[in-house]
Structure 1
Amino acid sequence: MRDTLTVILAGGRGSRLESLTRDRAKPAVPFGGLYRIVDFVLSNCLNSDMRRLLLLTQYKAQSLDRHINMAWRNYFCRELGEFIDVMPPQQRIDDNWYQGTADAVYQNIYAIESAEPRDIMVLAGDHIYKMNYKPMVDFHRRMDADITIGALRVTRDDATQFGVLQTDIDHRLTGFQEKPANPIPTPDDPDICMASMGIYVFNARFLYEQLCDDATKTNSSHDFGKDIIPAAIKDYRVFAFPFLDENRKRDAYWRDVGTIDAYYEANMDLITVDPQLNLYDKVWPIRSYQPMLPPPKFVFGSDGPSSRRGEALDSIVCQGAIISGGSVARSVIGPNVRINSYAQVEDSILFDGVHVGRRCRLRRVIIDKGVHIPAETEIGYDPIADAARGFTVTDSGLVVIARGEQIEPSRGRSERVSPLSG
């Protein structure tokens, strides 16, 4: 895999994940207590022996850049030709921000060419899945393909949110629909479609030619799914590669956590008895930054009418967390969280350093880093009241408290004072 260069698109705004992306890019959003979203694609690369990586950033990249430096630099040895280079917009070609996925790669074409790759793999940095990329590159070369696209089986109802692929018996593309209202199913199952995963392998010379040609077109959106791939199907060798899930479960696991509700559900998947996404896999480990913190601690266990018990049921609790006489159920508790006596946290996600005061009641809440919840505060029990306090409330009733929110102490209610940056 030394002659393959991997380009990871990690510059998305993540506007549908507001307020979690107020101060960070979408790939840098925490996930599963200990990880960042980008850790999944980077772990896939490392486990696949893909060791020449360019990470293209754009919006609010400071948090992502810091995480890469702390978590990932030590895995790559430049003396051996390995690297993970974070590439902010260079504006060497023009003064614009990236106009689309193809334009992002085009604007970094000098850095890509200097690596002299035979093939170029393009990945999205904001999806949750486990995949070995080597069989896909091998397939690409075996078929003498110009483009190979990772393909996921989805229902026809879900296919309206994807680029939908039509192939022949040899997996060669015969058609492509970008988010169609009436997607074309597979020949063997009228209820299933093959969807593009946003995973591509390109022959390097072919990609350079297509990007340079696309850059001259004023009517192009400069996107792989909308422009490059549909135009290439007729005259070039474009193939689909069926997704092989390293979770090795009955159903393949791939998630785009692009909305608050999708992000929440993907986190809640992890606390089930046998989750589809296996984080305890020694064969295909997911790596991240491991802070030097003590183990989680649960204190107080008294019984009686005024009992307080530090406990967490059906939950993930990260290192450094202290459940001090509070109760946690069906939640993801990040590092350094403290939950004080008689507090109740249910069906929630708490990021690093959240402090929950005594007798608080939290339900279906996502709380960003470092937020202090004053004693006797209730959140998640009255969506209308929570929205009136300035919190983000989704249609399903999830409440999101952004990083830097200051919450005024008050019994049975909380009020937003002002957001702080940083």
Structure 2
Amino acid sequence: MRVAAMIMAGGEGSRLTVLSEHRAKPSVPFAGKYRIIDFTLSNCVNSRIYDVAILTQYRPHSLNDHIGIGKPWDLDRVRGGVRLLQPYQARGSQGWYMGTADAVYQNLDYLTNRDVDRVIILSGDHIYKMDYRPMLAYHEEKGADLTVAVMNVPLEETDRFGIMTTNKNGRVIEFHEKPKNRDKGTLASMGIYVFNVDTLVRRLQEGHEREPNLDFGKHVIPAMIAEDKVYAYTFEGYWVDVGTIDAYWRTSLALCEPDSPLNLWDTSFPVRTRSQERPPVKCSEQGRIHRSLVSNGCTIHGVVDHSVLSPGVYVSPGAVVRESVIMNDSWIGPGAVIDRAIIDKEVIIGSGTQVGWGDDMRPNWQLPDKLDSGITVVGKGAHLPSNLRVGRNVLVDVEVDEHVCRGYELIPSGATVTREEVLMPPQDETAASGIADESHITAAAAKEEIT
């Protein structure tokens, strides 16, 4: 059995707000030193699948730079290796990928020009560790045309997934894409598919004639259930979609726990990534690190508590970082407090500034469905001035200059800071002066609480 992998990595990831504004979702940093796509790529290599195509579309530059020729994953090979496949305009084609299956359809020549008889189609934006070989063996054992990896999810979450019903032999007899009624069972598709290549080619060519915006969940799988042998393979390990701010934040901080379900330290199944050469972590006499992941190149003079720091983060004396994710090369000024926030790369937080201030948990008034759990997000390259208080569920755009916030003492909860102005929630348009209340968190108090 000869196997190739195709990884879907062109998603915009709009629910991650500014974290995916300048990069595709699979390229978003995760767990300090990694990118989200590292997990799927590492799964392939650990499963001894060395013929891998990555289908990109939205903002591919960061992802292209990260993957390169695939050397960190042992994919810099003369035969096989990694290929980055981007949409292109050709005669008689529409160019941009219009759906997940359409992306594969536009790159069928990649498969037909290779000596493979099975293809595993994967998403590049999920966090999990999985050896695909048992699933491939199950596919052969059942004589399947298509095998879909599934897992049981809580009943209240079934409207987020494609839900499958199987018979006693594991054959899929019904498929419902994100059903609104919670009466279809709890067996959810993980977006991992094993196809016989000849079946996939035939079904995509037939389906594309009827539906140009061809999608696996909406079109291909429902059609195949009636005419082909489709089986479900149950996966019982750890798997999570970090496609929302809250899911990203919670999944990141769960890595700090001693019983974290995702084992990054298992040398028998390593997660590989492209790493920069950085010096070791430096923690000064006044610095304290508690229950956190701190990457190489970080300098800690303040307090880091239950947080994840990417390479090169600098935490100044008297600063406190609590329950937060801080990405590469950000600078946290003296006496600053970061509480329940996600700070993207190369951000500067001025001295005495508090990000994640107060008890007001109102949602972001412009993005109430994306920022509603109390997490404040600061975009890449933003600069917040000194002695500013920034509330909960605040969105700070990428590359915001410090002059935008000058004259403000408080950016209230639910506000948005763009590169031109501060957009206050309607009831706070005159509240820029912001008087401190009992929920005020000082750096000294936070440090005393931890110590």
TM-score by length of 1: 0.88
Residue 363 of structure 1 pairs with residue 339 of structure 2: yes
Partners of 1:274 and 1:384 in 2: CA distance: 29
Q: Counterpart of 1:215 in 2: which secondary structure?
A: helix
Q: Give 1:39's aligned residue.
A: 38
Contact 1:166 1:184 in 2 (8 A): no
Pairs within 5 Å for 1:6-405? 6-69=5-68, 72=71, 75-79=74-78, 81-92=79-90, 94-184=93-183, 193-218=186-211, 221-245=213-237, 253-300=238-285, 309-324=286-301, 326-382=302-358, 394-405=371-382
| Offset of residue 73 of structure 1 | 5.7
Residue 410 of structure 1 pairs with residue 387 of structure 2: yes
| Offset of residue 114 of structure 1 | 0.8
Q: Counterpart of 1:233 in 2: which secondary structure?
A: helix
Contact 2:73 2:273 in 1 (8 A): no
Runs of 4+ in 1 over 3 A off after TM superposition: 70-74, 183-186, 382-388, 410-420
1:205-234 superposed Cα distances (whole Å, 9 cap, x missing partner): 11011111111114x641101110011111
| Offset of residue 143 of structure 1 | 1.3
Partners of 1:318 and 1:13 in 2: CA distance: 27
| Offset of residue 405 of structure 1 | 1.5
Contact 1:342 1:360 in 2 (8 A): yes
Partners of 1:319 and 1:73 in 2: CA distance: 17
Identity of aligned residues (%): 38
TM-score by length of 2: 0.83
Q: Counterpart of 1:20 in 2: which secondary structure?
A: helix
Q: Give 1:303's aligned residue.
A: none
| Offset of residue 412 of structure 1 | 4.7
| Offset of residue 410 of structure 1 | 3.2
Counterpart residue identity of residue 102, structure 1: A
| Offset of residue 374 of structure 1 | 0.8
Partners of 2:158 and 2:362 in 1: CA distance: 36
| Offset of residue 419 of structure 1 | 4.2
| Offset of residue 204 of structure 1 | 0.5
Give unpaired runs (5+ residues) of structure 1. Answer: 187-192, 246-252, 301-308
Partners of 1:211 and 1:415 in 2: CA distance: 53
Contact 1:380 1:386 in 2 (8 A): no
Partners of 1:91 and 1:201 in 2: CA distance: 28
Q: Give 2:433's aligned residue.
A: none
Q: Counterpart of 1:366 in 2: which secondary structure?
A: strand
1:184-204 superposed Cα distances (whole Å, 9 cap, x missing partner): 455xxxxxx211000001110
Contact 1:406 1:416 in 2 (8 A): no
Partners of 2:213 and 2:21 in 1: CA distance: 26
Point out the more displaced range, 4-13 or 134-143.
Answer: 134-143
Give unpaired runs (5+ residues) of structure 2. Answer: 391-401, 406-417, 421-451
Q: Give 2:444's aligned residue.
A: none
Question: Quick one: structure 1 residues 84 and 352, their matched pair in 2 at CA, closer, same or farther if it must change by over 3 Å?
Answer: same
| Offset of residue 76 of structure 1 | 2.1
Partners of 1:76 and 1:96 in 2: CA distance: 27
Question: Quick one: structure 1 residues 114 and 71, their matched pair in 2 at CA, closer, same or farther if it must change by over 3 Å?
Answer: closer
Point out the more displaced range, 68-77 or 16-25.
Answer: 68-77
Counterpart residue identity of residue 43, structure 1: S
Partners of 1:349 and 1:182 in 2: CA distance: 36
Contact 1:315 1:329 in 2 (8 A): yes
Contact 2:297 2:313 in 1 (8 A): yes
Partners of 1:254 and 1:384 in 2: CA distance: 29
Partners of 1:70 and 1:353 in 2: CA distance: 25
Contact 2:147 2:230 in 1 (8 A): yes
| Offset of residue 111 of structure 1 | 1.7
| Offset of residue 362 of structure 1 | 1.0
Question: Quick one: structure 1 residues 76 and 210, their matched pair in 2 at CA, closer, same or farther if it must change by over 3 Å?
Answer: same
Point out the more displaced range, 378-387 or 45-54.
Answer: 378-387
Measured on the aligned residues, the alpha-carbon RMSD in Å equals 2.4
The alignment covers a number of residue pairs equal to 395
Partners of 1:64 and 1:176 in 2: CA distance: 33
| Offset of residue 183 of structure 1 | 3.8
Contact 2:51 2:81 in 1 (8 A): yes
Question: Quick one: structure 1 residues 227 and 35, their matched pair in 2 at CA, closer, same or farther if it must change by over 3 Å?
Answer: same
Contact 1:37 1:128 in 2 (8 A): yes
Partners of 2:276 and 2:158 in 1: CA distance: 40
Question: Quick one: structure 1 residues 94 and 316, their matched pair in 2 at CA, closer, same or farther if it must change by over 3 Å?
Answer: same
Question: Quick one: structure 1 residues 342 and 5, their matched pair in 2 at CA, closer, same or farther if it must change by over 3 Å?
Answer: same
Counterpart residue identity of residue 194, structure 1: L
Contact 1:123 1:199 in 2 (8 A): yes
| Offset of residue 98 of structure 1 | 0.9
Q: Higher relative contact order at CA 8 Å, sep ≥6: structure 1 or structure 2? A: 1
Partners of 1:362 and 1:221 in 2: CA distance: 43
Question: Quick one: structure 1 residues 228 and 412, their matched pair in 2 at CA, closer, same or farther if it must change by over 3 Å?
Answer: closer
Contact 1:357 1:375 in 2 (8 A): yes
Partners of 2:201 and 2:317 in 1: CA distance: 61
